[in-house]
């Protein structure tokens, strides 16, 4: 999987998770808020997933962690990789592990 494909998969997962958790009409407004809050555009978010996830947790508290987990689960499902949560591992770590795993299986 190319970096562009991975970035697209991440952005699709973010959009789908927000729409699923908060409703489709909220998605563009929340993304605009997050862009202003973390200072990066939607296109730059794949490079700053740490800031994205931290912003979601800052904005929604413990529900932000649930939203991050939903994003990660959607990413794993899109990649066709089973998702198994291990202890209190931060969700960003799962994103990085998936990125590494998919880079290794690149044709």
Domains contained in the chain, CATH given = 3-101 (1.10.1200)
Among candidates 66, 91, 95, 65, which has minimal Cα distance to 79? 95
DSSP letter, residue 61: T
Cα separation of 64 and 33, whole Å? 14
The dihedral built from the CA positions of residue 49, 75, 15 and 24, taken in this order, carries a sign that is negative
Greatest pairwise CA separation for the chain in angstroms: 40
Question: How high is the mean pLDDT in each 10-residue block of the chain (107 residues)?
Answer: 86 94 90 85 88 90 93 96 90 94 79
Confidence (pLDDT) at 95: 95
Kindly report the number of other CB atoms within 10 A of residue 31's CB atom.
Answer: 18
Global confidence as pTM: 0.90
Confidence (pLDDT) at 34: 84
Confidence (pLDDT) at 106: 62
């Amino acid at each position: 999987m190319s970096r562009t494909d991975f970035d697209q998969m991440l952005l699709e997962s973010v959009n789908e998770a927000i729409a699923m958790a908060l409703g489709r009409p909220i998605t563009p407004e929340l993304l605009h808020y997050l862009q202003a809050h973390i200072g990066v555009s939607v296109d730059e978010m794949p490079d700053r997933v740490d800031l994205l996830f931290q912003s979601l947790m800052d904005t929604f508290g413990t529900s932000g962690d649930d939203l991050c987990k939903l994003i990660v689960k959607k990413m794993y499902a899109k990649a066709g990789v089973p998702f198994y949560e291990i202890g209190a591992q931060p969700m960003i770590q799962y994103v990085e592990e998936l990125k590494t795993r998919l880079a290794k299986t690149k044709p």
